[in-house]
Structures are given as C-alpha cells and as structure tokens.
C-alpha cells in the first residue's frame, strides 16, 4: 500500500479519536458548568483569532520557503531560514501575549449582557498564555511539515490531546474549577514544546541557530496577511457578532453545532495536510496542462467526499445534539440548512487553494477585502432583523459572490491559463452533480428512513447513521460516476495516490 495512502488513513483515525474526546469534554463541561461558560470559552477562541492576525499567512509563507531550500539541500540557507522563522515567531509570541493582556479590560464590549463572572479577566489571561505557547515551537513543526514529516507532528498532538482530555475530565469532576481547567492547557502546551524540541534535535541535528536573518518571507507575507484577514472575518466573526447582539447562550449552542460540522472540514484537512507539500513540489516539475488535470481529479474527489459527509451530517445532526447535550440546545432547521451549504462551499475551495499556494499566487488581495466586506456588512445588517439566520446568510452571500465565482475565475486565469468558459464548464457541472445528489438522496431518505425513525438512544442513532451514510454514499457515488475525472481518480485510488 502506498505510503501516502497509509498516512491519510492514520491521520483520519487520529482526527476521529481527537474529535470524540472533544465531544466528551463539551458534554461533561455542560454537566458541571453551564452553556454560558461554554459560550464564553468559544468567544475567547474567536477574539484570540483577531490577535493572531499578526502571524496570518506566516505558516504558508514559511512552508513555501522551506520547500525550496529543502529541495536544494542547501544547509547554509536552511540554517538562516530556520533561525529567521524561529526569531519571528518568538517576537509574535511576545507581541500577542502583551496585546492580549492589555485587551482584558475591554472584554465587556464583546458581550451583550453583564459580565457573567468577574474572574473572566483571569480566565482570559490564562487562555492567552496557553494559546501563545505554540509560537515557541512553531518553527519545529513547520519544518517537519515541509519535510513531509507532518505525521509525526500529528502523533504528538494526538498523544498530548489524550493526556489533556483525562486531566481535564479529572479537573471538571474533582475540583469543578474553570481556572484549573484552563491551566491544564498551559501545562500540556509546555510539554509539547519540549517534545518537539527533542524530536527536531534527532532529525535535524545538522541545523544550527545563526545570527544572520532572511526576511524575504515577510515580503510574501504582506500579500498573505490580506488573504488570512479575509479568512479571519469569514471564520471568526460569527460568535463575536452573536455574543455582541444576541447572547452567550446562543454562542454556546451555535458553537456546539459548529464543532460537529468542523469534523467534516477537519476530516478533509487531514488529507490536504498530506497532499499540500506533494502538490507544491509537483507543480514546479510539471506543465500547466498536467497540473490542471490533477486539480480536476482531486477537486471532484473532494467534492464527492464532501457531499457524502455534508448530506449525512444534515440528516443526523439534530438527533446527535439531542442525545449529546439535550433538546434545549437545538437550532432552527433553516439555520442548519444554511450552515451545511456554507460547509459545502468551503470544501469546494480546498483543493483550488492548495494549487494556488503551490503556484505561489497571492495577488488576489482585492478579492479578500471584498469577501470580508460583504460578509461583515450583510451579517451586521441581517442579524438585527432575522437574528442568527442573518449571520449565516451573510457568510453565504460572500461565499457565492467571491468563493464560488470571482476567486476561481481569477485562479483559473492566472495559474492554469484557462478562461471563464473553462471555469463555467467545470463549476456548472459540479453544481449540477451536487444538486442531483441532494435531490435523489433527500427523496430516498425522507421516503424510506427519516419519516420512520425515532431516535431515543445512542444505539439507535448509530444504526440510523450507518444506514443513512450507506444510502448517501451509494446514491452519490452512482451520480458522481457521470464525471470522467471522478472515474479516473477512483481507478487511481484503487492502486495508489500518485499526487
């Protein structure tokens, strides 16, 4: 079996187990604390994302730089680059820690109600410390990822996540201390630092820390920051807006659904982590025609997996939430539909973004600004009239106009040297296949499964999940086989993954 295929399977298994641990943590967290405190934790995460804009795009730019130096096998350049990235990240650590601490008195601005707990300021500072420690070992993990050793990084994160899980469960039930719950994160992140430091000393003992610096990656970073700023607003403003204009309770409920939906994204990202360095290296070795064909094959395959997972999630998610945390925390069906459409659109851009990065194309800055502006403008207006639905609709509008239209047209033209008609041919075909898949699966499931199923236990939910997933997979496979690139990729996967 091909080593890439093995790595993908291992990554998927690690992701599934890690996410199961998170579900248990959330469940027990709600049992001991409350939905308001859970919402506060989720709000912290999104506020922190704004501070992290200071390092936006640095991982991508650093990976891109490492690809070339590692391929050239130039140890002198490698020493300089490694030392430079280490220096940059240490300064980012200091800067974000300082800004985060100074931001503490202003937390009340993000919360509509009165501050639920005056210890919130201590919680925030501890949270910032735990969240910034990874910057002290980022240069290690980026180097390993660029050198196609991402699986080792995954192993370390996985093992530490299990340790964190058991320590936090113990804390939740024995001490019932939110302070101790956050402090565990700080301890385990420090442990990661020493583990990654040791691993790098074993694999890269020839790399030396030097005084000379190479800041050329910061030139590329200027363009990447605007792309990451767009991602920040698209991915990390929902909970802030909900907290500011609705309530922390709704933040907790919405974040719980996001947590489930993010499994789909994380599942596919575990595959992209393995593919990204290989795609980056192969793009430089082949012509545009070959790269475009590979993009088409990988893209339709991702759309297929995404369609299966998204449809299955839509029909299973409410019963899951009901069994997981209770009927009081269910969302409106329209919100759930809109959320799943946004997930599908997010999946549709994953492979295209990897190829864009592989080509080193980051000049579509104006589209990033426009995407952010559309998302924020519509969300701010609509949340006042239709509440939570308005936030999700704002994301959907920006997705349709930029993610599905303007950006792919630009990338097709600049990277693949294809025109708007090639884009329309591909995307209309993708859209048609997905719509047919949705309609056929909906008709089948509502007629034979959904109307007859009443879920009262995890056993019943699991049995229902297996049946729905199989039906969706069979129907979707038959429909996607219409596409030539999909048939070609299926044949390739049966033997090995070449790209």
pLDDT tens for each residue of 346-403: 998 998 888 888 887 777 778 888 888 899 899 999 998 999 999 999 999 999 999 9
- Give the 3-state secondary structure percentages of the chain, helix then strand then coil, rounded to 5: 85, 0, 15
Q: Give the lowest-confidence range in 60-64, 228-232, 249-253.
A: 228-232
Band of residue 133 on the pLDDT scale cut at 50, 70, 90: very high
Is the pLDDT at 239 greater than 70? The verdict is: yes
Q: What is the pLDDT of residue 135?
A: 92
Of 320, 367, 316, 311, nearest to 343 by C-alpha is: 311
Burial label, 444 (beta-carbon count in 10 A; 0-12, 13-18, 19+):
middle
Using DSSP's 3-state secondary structure scheme, residue 97 falls into: helix
Q: What is the pLDDT of residue 267?
A: 79
Distant-in-sequence, close-in-space partners of 472: CB < 8 Å, separation ≥ 6? 308, 311, 312, 441, 445
* Averaged pLDDT for residues 253-276: 83
Q: At 434, list the tokens.
A: 């997905």
322-342: buried (b, 16+ CB within 10 Å) or exposed (e) per residue? Answer: bbbbeeebbbeeebbebbbbb
Q: What are phi and psi of 247, to 5 degrees?
A: -170, 165
Q: What is the pLDDT of residue 428?
A: 92
pTM: 0.77
As a whole number of angstroms, the distance between CA 456 and CA 352 comes to 41
To the nearest 10 degrees (0 to 180), the angle between helices 75-103 and 216-236 is: 40
441 in Cβ contact with 472 (< 8 Å): yes
As a whole number of angstroms, the distance between CA 142 and CA 372 comes to 27
């Amino acid at each position: 079996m091909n080593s890439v295929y093995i790595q993908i399977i291992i990554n998927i298994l690690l992701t599934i187990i890690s996410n199961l641990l998170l579900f248990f943590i959330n469940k027990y967290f709600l049992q001991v604390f409350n939905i308001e405190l859970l919402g506060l934790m989720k709000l912290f995460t999104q506020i922190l994302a704004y501070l992290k804009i200071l390092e936006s795009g640095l991982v991508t730019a650093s990976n891109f730089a490492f690809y070339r130096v590692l391929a050239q096998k130039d140890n002198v350049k490698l020493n300089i680059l490694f030392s430079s990235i280490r220096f940059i990240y240490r300064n980012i650590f200091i800067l974000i820690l300082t800004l985060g601490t100074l931001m503490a008195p202003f937390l009340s601005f993000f919360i509509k109600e009165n501050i639920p707990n005056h210890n919130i300021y201590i919680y925030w500072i501890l949270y910032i410390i735990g969240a910034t420690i990874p910057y002290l070992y980022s240069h290690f993990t980026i180097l390993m990822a660029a050198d196609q050793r991402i699986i080792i990084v995954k192993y370390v994160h996985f093992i530490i996540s299990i340790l964190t899980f058991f320590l936090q469960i113990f804390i939740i039930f024995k001490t019932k201390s939110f302070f101790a719950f956050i402090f565990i994160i700080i301890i385990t992140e420090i442990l990661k630092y020493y583990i990654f430091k040791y691993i790098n000393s074993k694999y890269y003992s020839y790399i030396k820390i030097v005084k000379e610096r190479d800041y050329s990656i910061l030139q590329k970073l200027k363009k990447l920051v605007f792309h990451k700023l767009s991602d920040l607003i698209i991915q990390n403003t929902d909970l802030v807006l909900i907290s500011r204009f609705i309530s922390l309770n709704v933040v907790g409920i919405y974040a719980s659904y996001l947590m489930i939906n993010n499994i789909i994204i994380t599942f596919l990202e575990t595959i992209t982590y393995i593919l990204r360095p290989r795609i980056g290296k192969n793009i430089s070795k082949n012509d545009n025609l070959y790269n475009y064909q590979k993009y088409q094959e990988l893209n339709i395959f991702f759309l297929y997996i995404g369609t299966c997972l998204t449809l299955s999630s839509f029909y299973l998610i409410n019963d899951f939430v009901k069994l997981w945390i209770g009927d009081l925390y269910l969302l409106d069906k329209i919100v759930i539909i809109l959320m799943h459409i946004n997930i599908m659109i997010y999946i549709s851009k994953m492979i295209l973004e990897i190829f864009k990065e592989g080509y080193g194309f980051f000049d579509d800055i104006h589209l990033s600004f426009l995407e952010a502006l559309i998302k924020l403008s519509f969300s701010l207006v609509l949340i006042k009239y239709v509440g939570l639905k308005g936030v999700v609709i704002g994301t959907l509008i920006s997705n349709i106009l930029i993610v599905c239209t303007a950006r792919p047209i630009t990338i097709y033209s600049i990277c693949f040297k294809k025109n708007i008609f090639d884009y329309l041919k591909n995307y209309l075909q993708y859209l048609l296949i997905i719509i047919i898949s949705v309609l056929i699966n909906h008709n089948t499931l509502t007629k034979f499964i959904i109307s007859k199923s009443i879920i009262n236990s995890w056993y019943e939910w699991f049995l229902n999940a297996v049946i729905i997933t199989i039906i969706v997979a069979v129907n979707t496979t038959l429909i996607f086989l219409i596409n030539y690139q999909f048939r070609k990729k299926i044949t390739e996967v049966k033997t090995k993954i070449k790209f």
